[in-house]
A and B are shown apart, each in its own frame.
Chain A
Amino acid sequence: MRRVAKIVTSLCLAGVFFLSVNTFPLLAAEKIRIGITQILDHPALNAVRDGFIDAMAEAGYVEGKNVVYDVQNAQGDMATASTIAHKFVSENVDLILSIATPTSQAAVRATDKIPIVFSAVTDPVGAGLVKSLECSGNNVTGISDLTPVERQIELIKAIVPKAKAVGTIYNAAEANSVLTNELAKKACKRLGLKLEEATVSSTADVFLAAQSLVGKCDAIYVSTDNTTVSALDAVIQVTTKNKIPLVLADPTTVNKGALLALGFNYYAHGRETAPIVIKILNGTKPSDIPVRFAKELELWVNLDTAEKIGFSSSFLLDACKEFANKLRKEGVKVDIKTIEGK
């Protein structure tokens, strides 16, 4: 019995020791404490987080030195997103960085005092995060990841001038995708194109959805839909076999075999969040910082895919250069990058 008591006591002591050692840095008052809440592990969302932390470090806010990050991930469970938000509030962190819509909504619900900076949210007004894009009217501001849908549809028209219909695949349960799809519909209408929609509810449906578009469209457009992007290989199998140009909003996956991508990468998106956070740490009120949109675009041209689907490389490059010049005249920063054919 004595031995058992001894073991129990020492275990308790060890527990107390670990707790005190590990929570001590969090208690150090001179360090800035930032809570990062993310809805799930997703390459784009992880890139936002990494981009933010890297850009902060370059600006002099080094993790462990003068800033402490409490990185939390709800692993897809929305109730847990709420628990995480309350955890940050109960610890009175200096600032909350919320990545994606549900985590941002949970954070906004949990506090009206601690500054919240959101990122990777497409429609901040519709999600109830801010009153308007110009002035939130509360403790919240951030950066929208609305992809330039109109430009992407214009790009399709530029490379396939004779196109009559554009196909698209998206998950109707993703708030962001529903919004980008509405924008795509509008842009298509303006350019005299028909938008052929195929909806999916999981990655398993994507292959069939892509198949269903064959013969109905002259190009396929995939926006920032998480489900479709996760199963992009299935789309590429179909577009390569049927020689259909595939245009993406996500530049990081174009090398898998899409023809073009026009958008921004999420690492850069995360980096663009850092200056907003620094402004707030220096005393600016979140309501005085308007919500921003991505300012720097990348146009990726995959000549390897062009070869595979029998698309003239020289025509493609010329059309893209001309398109980029048009955008630059309108004040958009565009960087053309090419993937060479083998």
Chain B
Amino acid sequence: MLLSFVLHSLEEGFLFAILALGVYITFRVLNFPDLTVDGSYPLGAAVAAVLIVRGMNPFSALLFSALAGGLAGLLTAFLHTKLKITPLLAGILTMIALYSINLRIMGRPNISLSEYLGHRTVITILREVNLPIRSEYFIPLIFFVIVMVLKELVDLFLHTEIGLTIRATGDNEQMIRAEGVNTDTAKLIGLSLSNALVALSGGLFAQYQGFADVGMGIGMIIAGLASVIVGQSLVRGRTVELMTLGAIVGAIVYRLAIAMALKWGYNFGFRPTDLKLLTALLVITILSFPYLRAKVKRLEES
């Protein structure tokens, strides 16, 4: 019973890990605080939902989610590089524009992907696969594989020439501009890749929860940033491989913290209205753990 709850929380964690990978690219690699996320996440959900309702294969629909997210990232990058709007404002502008665009795409604020309406999602297809292991274990495994493949691809990409340019742009823009490198292109590519991942995460989550809602994006950038930062303090190291791993670990820990708060928090006198406070407390506990452990170690030695 507890196992199935943990598995479901892990599934959610893996889906958020895709978003965290995207946020890692803008926030850490490109050093660009990109708020487009709150709009591109529901954009991915909206595109996937509309296409599935129209009868498209749910896997292909995800490709279009990612594509739409990439376009959203391009728009933010365009506003910033060509129209010289500051990064924060460029992200905010795309985000608020996407709110209306998402409503246009969906045609209404909430689209159900329920089997009762005859819709098929990635989840329904995975459940039908005939395998010796139960779908309860199979689905989180598949999600895990998807996340690790995406991580590998992001790692590889960041080691290509374009990837190195993006990293250099984030490290010291002035310097590499002086070398004659076009940092605008680096930003365009980085932002669109990041938002493609975010939208892919949104498209998958809509299929996972069985509906797309225009309000899905609220607070997603906060969840993404928290995941990246939590991951960074849990997985130490400055290499790309370790940092992408950190983003994934961070997203899982963040979702597990919410799941733990929901599961046990209210046994200790907390109330449902305290959910966010409780989540914050759990994350603080996890973050301070390495420090406390070091302190205990020092006490031991003395």
Q: What's the tally of chain B residues with a CB closer than 8 Å to chain A?
A: 46
Which chain B residues (97-119) contact chain A, with CB distance < 8 Å?
99, 103, 108-110, 112-114, 116-117, 119
A175 and B218 contacting across the interface, CB-CB below 8 Å? no
A residues less than 8 Å from B264 (CB atoms): 19
Complex CA distance for A108 and B213, rounded to whole angstroms:
16
Interfacial chain B residues near A19, Cβ < 8 Å? 264, 267
Choose among B113, B255, B272 the residue with the greatest number of A CB atoms under 10 Å from its CB: B272
Please state if B211 and A77 are interface contacts (CB–CB under 8 Å). Answer: no
CA distance A201 to B255 in the complex (A): 28
Contact of B1 with A92 in the complex, beta carbons under 8 Å:
yes
Alpha-carbon distance between A106 and B272 when the two chains are bound, in angstroms = 18
Q: Give, as a whole number of angstroms, the nearest-CB distance from A228 to chain B.
A: 15
Pairwise interchain contact A131-B2, C-beta atoms closer than 8 A? no
Any chain A CB within 8 A of the CB of B263? yes
Q: Given A19-B267, A106-B210, A174-B109, does the pair A72, B117 have CB atoms closer than 8 Å?
A: no
Contacts between chains A and B (CB distance < 8 A), count: 128
Report the stretch among B5-13, B28-36, B190-198, B280-288 that lies at the interface.
B5-13
**Do B116 and A128 touch across chains, with their CB atoms under 8 A apart?**
yes
Residue from A84, A92, A110, A126 in contact with B112 in the complex, judged by beta carbons closer than 8 Å: A126
Query: Which residue on B lies nearest to A136, using beta carbons?
Result: B116
Give A209-240 as 1s and 0s: 1 = Cβ < 8 Å from B's Cβ atoms: 00000000000000000000000000000000
Question: CB distance A82 to B208 under 8 Å?
Answer: yes
B interface SS class: helix
Knowing A78-B213, A87-B259, A87-B262, the reply to whether A128 touches B113 (Cβ < 8 A) is yes
Interface residues on A, range: 35 or more
Which residues of chain A have C-beta atoms less than 8 A from B267's C-beta?
Answer: 18-19, 22-23
B130 within 8 A of A: no
Given A76-B219, A79-B205, A129-B116, 10 other A-B contacts at CB below 8 A?
A72-B262, A75-B276, A78-B209, A82-B12, A83-B262, A84-B262, A86-B9, A102-B110, A105-B210, A127-B110
Give the A-binding residues of B (Cβ under 8 A).
Answer: 1-2, 4-5, 8-9, 12, 16, 99, 103, 108-110, 112-114, 116-117, 119, 205, 208-211, 213-216, 218-219, 223, 255, 258-259, 262-264, 267-268, 272-273, 275-276, 296, 299-300
Q: Would you mind naming 29 contact pairs between A and B with Cβ atoms under 8 Å apart? A: A19-B264, A19-B267, A38-B272, A71-B272, A72-B262, A72-B272, A73-B272, A75-B276, A79-B223, A80-B258, A83-B8, A83-B259, A86-B5, A86-B9, A87-B5, A90-B8, A102-B213, A105-B209, A105-B211, A106-B209, A109-B211, A127-B114, A129-B116, A173-B99, A173-B214, A173-B215, A175-B109, A175-B110, A178-B109
- A-side residues, CB < 8 A to B, are 1, 4, 18-19, 22-23, 38, 41, 71-84, 86-87, 89-92, 101-102, 105-106, 108-110, 126-131, 137-138, 172-175, 178, 201
